[in-house]
């Protein structure tokens, strides 16, 4: 029997880490992810886990220590937000290129500047090309579930990539909601033992990690790394299938909600999906059908599957909780539309909204503005503005 509990997204993340009981957790405090290492250090202090907790002096050292620990042959985890993730930037790329399946909880927060502690996705979106798998979570349950699946995905021999599990700072990290936890022994059996093929602490087969890699080999290594990300797609679905068996909760690359018969869709990440689903239900009751497409897996980007799913809609709003500053649209917008174009999905009309920056509240009335706009586009068959802002004063 699963365990019914109530807890915040941060605690749910920490509970997942406790059940995983990794070899090393190295982390540095930063709002709103601070609670994760706080909870974890309590587990260490109480002897509930037998991990090493390394209370480093910066996020740069947090991820550097994770690289050392994972290369040594251990399972390493960390948690961070915003500027902390930015300080890790250099090492994000090294961790991925070294094919080290470190797992990180990224509690999304607006990246400075100006300094702001609230939620948007500018931190993890900035790291989208660093070679990490990125899973996004709508609520505490998904944050917990994604965390339990992360090692299985990253450590798969066809993948060997680090995994970032994202959730919205404060909105889900600090909000206490109901959750269904899986029993410790089931989690242990599901996550399994970490058995790397090669690792620093293997005296019988010493290895060297992190070479100077010239033009003679570097390109091949980058190609192999890219293949790991391609392979991750299959593995993510296999792991989700297995996870379904122990949890009854189904996960895919994205979730399509109220899609039946809908002509319009909104695409988004993390907690705003909850708000959008609520408004979608309300509209449905009024006979107006609108689909909510919540993207769970942003890296690898499920381009083919998305394009296939989107071809049935007449109008699509792609929602970015971060700016790309390219004067043309946010990162999710550019990736979704290029996936559609490459697949020849040209009939839906698409618009982009930048929303919720710096934690600006996203209300049901904001979502209604988007939905109404989509219906207007369908009715008029016209898009007057592609690149838009939602909820900003100007």
Partner 1 sequence: MAYKLKEVAKKPERLTGGHRMCAGCGAPVVVRQTLRALKPEDHAVIGAATGCLEVSTFIYPYTAWRDSFIHNAFENSGATVAGAEAAYKAMKRRGKIKDDTKFIAFGGDGGTYDIGLQSLSGAMERGHDMVYVCYDNGAYMNTGIQRSSATPKYADTTTSPAGRKEHGKQQWRKDLTEIMVNHHIPYVAQTAAIGNMKDLYEKAEKAIYTQGPAFLNVLAPCPRGWQYDTPDLMEINKLAIETCFWPLYEVIDGKYIINYKPKNKLPVEEFLKVQGRFKHLFRPGNEQMIEEIQREVDKRWAELITLAEELN
Of the pair 213, 368, the CB lying nearest partner 1 is at 213
83-110 in b/e form (b: 16+ CB < 10 A) is: bbbbbbeebbebbbbbbbbbbbbbbbbb
Q: What minimum distance in Å lies between the beta carbon of 217 and partner 1? A: 5
Candidates 228, 139, 95, 297; CA nearest to 78 is 95
From 341, 332, 343, select the one nearest 308 (Cα to Cα).
343
Nearest to 24 by CA among 60, 84, 67, 80: 67
The residue among 72 and 259 lying less far from partner 1, judged by its C-beta, is 72
Rule CB under 8 A: choose which of 178, 202, 227, 326 binds partner 1.
Answer: 202
User: Of 296, 277, 34, nearest to 167 (Cα)?
Assistant: 296
Judged by CB under 8 A, the residue of 214, 245, 382, 393 near partner 1 is: 214
Beta strands in 94-159 (DSSP E): 103-108, 133-137
Kindly state the tokens that stand for 340.
Answer: 């559609």
Show contacts with partner 1 in window 35-94 (CB under 8 A). 50-52, 54-58, 60-62, 64-74, 76, 90-91, 94
Shortest Å, Cβ 132 to partner 1: 16
* Of the residues 184, 210, 238, 384, which one makes contact with partner 1 according to CB under 8 A: 210
- Interface with partner 1, residue 380, by CB under 8 A: no
* Residues contacting partner 1: total by CB under 8 A: 45
- Crossing angle for the helix pair 272-285 and 364-380, nearest 10 degrees? 60
Q: Mark 5-34 with x for binding to partner 1 (rule: CB under 8 A) and - for no binding.
A: ------------------xx-x--------
The residue range among 34-42, 213-221, 223-231, 337-345 that interacts with partner 1, by the rule CB under 8 A, is 213-221
Give the whole-angstrom CA distance, residue 50 versus residue 53. 9
List residues near partner 1 by CB under 8 A.
Answer: 23-24, 26, 50-52, 54-58, 60-62, 64-74, 76, 90-91, 94, 200-203, 206-214, 216-218
């Amino acid at each position: 029997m699963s365990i019914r509990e109530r807890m915040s997204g941060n605690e749910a993340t920490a509970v997942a880490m406790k059940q995983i009981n990794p070899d090393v957790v190295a982390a540095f405090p930063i709002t709103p992810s601070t609670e994760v290492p706080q909870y974890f250090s309590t587990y260490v202090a109480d002897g509930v886990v037998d991990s090493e907790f390394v209370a480093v002096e910066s996020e740069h050292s947090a991820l550097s220590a994770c690289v050392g620990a994972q290369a040594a042959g251990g399972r390493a985890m960390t948690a961070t937000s915003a500027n902390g993730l930015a300080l890790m930037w250099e090492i994000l790329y090294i961790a991925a290129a070294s094919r080290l399946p470190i797992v990180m909880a990224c509690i999304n927060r607006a990246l400075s500047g100006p300094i702001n502690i609230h939620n948007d996705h500018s931190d993890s979106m900035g790291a989208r090309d660093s070679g990490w798998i990125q899973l996004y979570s709508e609520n505490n349950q998904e944050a917990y579930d994604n965390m339990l699946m992360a090692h299985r995905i990253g450590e798969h021999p066809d993948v060997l990539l680090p995994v970032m599990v994202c959730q919205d700072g404060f909105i889900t990290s600090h909000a206490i909601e109901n959750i269904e936890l899986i029993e410790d022994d089931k989690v242990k059996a599901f996550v399994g033992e970490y058995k790397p093929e090669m690792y620093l602490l293997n005296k019988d087969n010493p290895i060297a990690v992190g070479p100077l890699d010239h033009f003679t080999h570097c390109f091949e290594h980058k190609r192999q790394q890219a293949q790991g990300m391609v392979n991750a797609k299959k593995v993510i679905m296999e792991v989700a299938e297995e996870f379904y068996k122990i949890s009854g909760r189904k996960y895919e690359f994205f979730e399509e909600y109220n899609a039946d018969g809908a002509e319009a869709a909104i695409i988004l990440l993390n907690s705003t999906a909850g708000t959008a689903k609520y408004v979608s239900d309300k509209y449905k009751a009024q006979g107006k059908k609108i689909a909510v497409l919540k993207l769970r897996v942003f890296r690898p980007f499920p381009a083919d599957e998305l394009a296939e799913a989107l071809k049935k809609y007449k109008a699509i709003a792609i929602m970015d909780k971060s700016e790309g500053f390219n004067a043309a649209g946010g990162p999710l917008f550019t990736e979704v539309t290029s996936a559609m174009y490459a697949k020849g999905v040209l009939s839906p009309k698409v618009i982009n909204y930048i929303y919720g920056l710096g934690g600006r509240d996203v209300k049901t009335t904001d979502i209604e503005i988007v939905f109404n706009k989509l219906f207007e586009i369908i009715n008029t068959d016209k898009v007057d503005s592609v690149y838009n802002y939602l909820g900003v004063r100007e």
